[in-house]
Amino acid sequence: MEFFLQLLIQGISIGFIYAIAALGFVMIFKSSSVLNLAHGEIMAVGAFIFLVFSLRLQLPIPIAFLLTLFGSFALGFIIERLFLRPLIGEALIYVIMLTVGLAAIFKGLMLFIFGGNLYSYPDFLPVYLSIQWGGITIPPVYTASLLIGLIFLAIFGLFFKYSSQGIYMRSVADNQTAALSLGVYVRRVFALSWAIAALVCAISGIILGIMNGISVHNLSHMGLKVFPVVILGGLESIAGAIIGGLIIGLLETFTGGYVSTALREVVPYIVLVLILLVKPYGLFGLVEIERV
């Protein structure tokens, strides 16, 4: 029972990381219908920015974290303004292929600067975040992941529900033409979507870096796990991204704990195939009915 509870807590913590990463993916898709195939590379960029600030420049961790969030937010604006905005009105396949090119560019630059080595952050998490309960031992990083996930998901929930920009983003996601006719600056919403997506990528990249170390290849691969999460929850559902992340995180953890650590990496893609076969729109996705 103790082993089960330990896996449960770890699975929920990892699930929140996937949920945060998937949230950015869903936001971009909802606002512009673009599948961002550079998601994993943007996660890696955020993780390495934090590495530079915290380890190489040796800034205080809170300052390094805030600067990383600010830098990632600005990166999202730059990507949208320089690369995505000129393609507004073009076929979506061109925009999707552009994100493939951006993924290759980011990965190549990071390999050129940092190489393919595995890096580690300085040990900055306080010991009191670890959980000791009978035979259960939860490392501080899983507790921090759970707390950060809850905090940021609450912040984003309040942002989308009560802030003017959040309401604009929801209106654009529902109907771009109607939002434009009501005076919503759709291009600004696109830019904000990419900026917030880059920010949440940085958060998830940092937490994954604390857990497993920082490697360009590993974090790029982790970006692929966003696809099973968003397909499971529904490409257009923010709540689905959260629930999908928790389900994938728990399935991974329990598979690794009870079955095989090798099979753990395959589970998200097995879920992806099954969902596409059984319920292609996901658990909370919108079913589109076209009449000719």
Residue 152 belongs to a domain: no
Distance CA 80, CA 3 (A): 45
Average pLDDT, the chain: 81
Which residues does 58 contact at the CB level (< 8 Å), separation at least 6? Answer: none
pLDDT tens-place string over residues 81-112: 888 888 876 777 888 888 889 999 999 999 99
- The residue with greater pLDDT, 13 or 32, is 13
Report pTM: 0.84
pLDDT of residue 176: 64
Does the pLDDT of residue 288 top 60, yes or no? no
Same domain, 97 and 181: yes
Model confidence at 174: pLDDT above 70:
no
**Residue 154 counted as domain residue:** no
**168 vs 83, residue with greater confidence:** 83
Which tokens sit at 159? Answer: 């942002």
Q: From CA 31, how far away is CA 167, in angstroms rounded? A: 12
Q: Domain boundary at 154, 182, 214, which?
A: 214
112 and 48 both lie in a single domain:
yes
Q: What is the pLDDT of residues 122-145, one digit of tens each?
A: 877 777 777 777 667 777 877 877
| Pair 84, 193 in one domain | yes
Q: 140-163: per-residue pLDDT in tens?
A: 877 877 788 788 778 877 877 777
Is the confidence at residue 177, as pLDDT, over 70? Answer: no
| Mean pLDDT, residues 36-51 | 89
Any domain includes 11 = yes
pLDDT band at 48 (very low <50, low <70, confident <90, very high): very high
Residue 136 lies in a domain: no
Q: What is the mean pLDDT of residues 38-61?
A: 89
The answer to whether the beta carbons of residues 227 and 164 sit under 8 Å apart is: no
191 shares a domain with 71 = yes
Q: Which of 157, 183, 214 is the last residue in one of the domains?
A: 214
Element (H, E) at 136: strand 136-138
* pLDDT for position 71: 92
Measured distance CA(195)–CA(276) in Å, rounded: 29
When divided into structural domains, the chain yields a total of: 2
Joined tokens for residue 33: 């219908």
For 190, residues 6+ apart whose C-beta sits below 8 A from its C-beta are 31, 32, 80, 84, 85, 88, 172
The span from the CA of 241 to the CA of 226, in Å, is 9
Range of the domain at 91: 33-121+174-214
